[in-house]
Amino acid sequence: MLKATTIHQQYEQARKDNIRILIIGAGVAGITAAQMLRRDGQHPVLIERNKDEGHPGYMLALMPMVDQALEDLGVREHYRQNSIPLNRYGFHAHTGRMLRIDSMSSILDRYGDYRGIARGKLIETLTSTGCNVSFNTTVTGLDESSGGTTVTFDSAGETCQLEFDLVIIADGIHSTTRNLVLGGSKVDVVDTKWGGWVVWAPEDIHMDLGEELWGAGFFLGIYPVKGELGVFLGGSRVDTKVGPNAFVEDIRRKLTSTSPRLDSTLKAITSDPEPYYWSLKDCRTPTWAIGRTVLLGDAAAGFLPTAGIGAGMAMESAWVLTRILRHAQRDTVVSLLQAYEKAQRPRVEAAQNTSRRLAGLMFHRSRPLAVLRDVMMRIVSVETAIKPIQKLLANQPNPDHVAKDALKRM
C-alpha cells in the first residue's frame, strides 16, 4: 500500500545511499521504478502531485513484458490473484455481429502471461510490501551542476531545496516537470480527434473474452478484469459532444445485431452518473536522458490505448532502467542514462508505432470504410495486427549487458 510520508523523512534515508535518487510521479512507471530500487536496497524519494491516491483508474491489459519486473519484485503470485487471463479476443463487425474470436493464449502464452487487471489492483500489487510517497508535492526547479542536481520542491505549501544525483521524471503524459528539462524542445503529439467514456460494467460468464466493435464513427471496447468489465465507448470528439446518452442512442440505431454483453455495456455507459471522458492523444519526446535526469513511462512516450501495451511498456522500461542502475556510481550515472535511452527507446517507439497504426485503422466515421475493414478482418487474425509486439516479446531486453557495455566504453 502507498504510505504517506514527508519528503524530509524520505530524504533522510536517500542521502545515505551511494546515489541519491528522486522519482517524480507515483503512477505505474514511478512506483515500479521505486519498488525495484528499494528491493535492491536503495531509498529513492518518491513524490506525487496529487493530495492523495486519487481515482484508482480503470482497466489494463498487461502483456508478458511485465513478467520479469513482477518476478524481481516478488509479487508475481499477488498479481495473478488480482488479475484474470485474457484467453480470447472477439471482433465485431460495424453492425454489431461477431465476426471472429481468436485465441490470445495460443498467440501469447509462449512468451508469458497476458492478463486483465484494474489499475487500482495493479498499484495494490506493486505496493503490497509498502511504498513510501510524499503526496501534494511538485518540482518547481531543477538546477544541474557537476556535483548533482538541486531540486526545488513545493510540498504541501512549503518550499524546500534538496540535492540528488539522479532525477527520474515519471509524472505522466501531461508531465509538467518535463518542461523544466526540455525547455523549448517540441514534444511530438498525435491527436486522433477522438475521445470517449470509460466505465465499469458487471462481470458475466465470459470473463476470459475481450471484445471490440470497430463501428462507423464509434468504437466499443470491452475488457475483463477480476470481478468487472472495463468498458470504453468512443467516437469523434465532434460527435461525442452530444453526451453519452444521445451518443449511445445513435449507436443502437446503427446496430443490426447485438448480444447481452453489448447491451449491458451500453447501459453501463448511460447509467453511470459521471463517466470519465478520455481524449485520445499520445506524445513522444525528442530525448529521454538529459544529464542526470531521465524521462520514464508516459512522460517519455505516452500511448494511445489501441494496442493495450502502454502500461506494459512503462513497467518494462522501469525494470530496464533500474536494472541498469544496479551498475551505477555517481560518476557513471550520465553515461548509463544515455545507454538506457539508446537501448530502450527503439522498443518503446516500435510499440507506440503499432498503437498509432491501429488507431488509424480503428477510428473512422465512414461506413464504406467500415465495410471494407470488416471484410479484411474476416480473414486477418489479431495475431497479424500485433506482429510487431510479438517481435518485442521474443527479443527481451538485457539491461545488464547494456550497462556493462556502456561502462566498458567509458
Dist. CA 93–CA 235, nearest whole Å: 16
User: pTM for this one?
Assistant: 0.96
> CB within 8 A of 78, min separation 6: which ones?
125, 128
Average pLDDT over residues 325-350: 97
Q: What are the grid coordinates assigned to 305, written together? A: 490505448
Residue extents of the structural domains in the chain: 2-73+113-188+281-359+384-409
Percent of the chain with pLDDT over 70: 100
Average pLDDT over residues 165-190: 93
Q: Please say whether the beta carbons of 397 and 320 come within 8 A.
A: yes
- Per residue in 245-291, pLDDT (tens digit) is 999 999 999 999 999 999 999 999 999 999 999 999 999 999 999 99
Closest C-alpha to 383, from 64, 67, 89: 89
* CATH fold for domain 2-73+113-188+281-359+384-409: FAD/NAD(P)-binding domain (3.50.50)
* pLDDT score recorded for residue 252: 97
Dist. CA 204–CA 202, nearest whole Å: 7
pLDDT at 297 over 90: yes
Pairing of strands 188-202, 228-236: antiparallel
* pLDDT score recorded for residue 112: 93
Tell me how many degrees the CA angle 94-364-258 measures, rounded to the nearest 5. Answer: 20
- Per residue in 98-107, pLDDT (tens digit) is 999 999 999 9
Q: At 112, give phi and psi (nearest 5°).
A: 145, -150
Q: Please say whether the beta carbons of 230 and 59 come within 8 A.
A: yes
Q: Please say whether the beta carbons of 288 and 342 come within 8 A.
A: no
- Per residue in 149-161, pLDDT (tens digit) is 999 999 988 999 9
Write the DSSP string, 60-100: EEE-GGGHHHHHHHT-HHHHHHH-EE--EEEEE-TTS-EEE
